[in-house]
Amino acid sequence: MTKPTFGTHPFLLGFDELERLVERTVRTGNDGYPPYNIEQTGEAGFRITLAVAGFAEADLSITLEDRQLVIRGRSQDDDARVYLHRGIAARQFQRAFVLADGVEVSGATLEHGLLHVDLQRSAPENVVKTIRIETGAQSDARTSRKE
């Protein structure tokens, strides 16, 4: 007997995409660069802060791709500079965060070498819908009218 996976459990209809979401989250990489914080800014607000010292606004891009927030940084090397010691990392990076349904990006700011991305979760609407139950005769009549 095989154990059903999370997405194939009979009580979780339509949640098969959840397994793919978890796999995609694992594949986003565990590189520690750049370091980041995630904080709660209110009852429905979050802020992701990345330490991006040495990156200008033009070197950074933020995109939302299929519920995945992707932050990329590409620094341009200045060939005119001669470094005696280079301790500030200036390599390119890509950080990805998977957002839940209803979470939207409300803004982004760059200040003092920190990139702040603000997120807001909208409250889901409670929807109650009554489903009409048809008898077999009504269903047969509807089928014969379509033919």
When pLDDT is averaged across residues 88-94 and rounded to a whole number, the result is: 82
- The answer on pLDDT for 39 being more than 80 is yes
When pLDDT is averaged across residues 81-94 and rounded to a whole number, the result is: 84
DSSP the chain: -PPPPGGG-TTSTT-THHHHHHHHHHHT-----S-EEEEE-SSSEEEEEEE-TT--GGGEEEEEETTEEEEEE-PPP-TT---S---S----EEEEEEPPTTEEEEEEEEETTEEEEEEEEPPPPP---PPPPPPHHHHHHHHHHH-
Which has the higher per-residue pLDDT, 19 or 71? 71
Which neighbouring-strand residues pair with 38? 48
Write down the mean pLDDT value for the chain. 83
Show me where the domains of the chain are located: 1-30, 31-124
Instruction: Name the CATH code of domain 31-124 (choices 2.60.120.380, 3.40.190.170, 1.20.58.60, 2.60.40.790).
Output: 2.60.40.790
Q: pLDDT for 62-74, tens place per residue?
A: 999 888 999 999 9
pTM for the model: 0.69
Residue pair 69/96 in contact (Cβ under 8 Å)? The answer is: yes
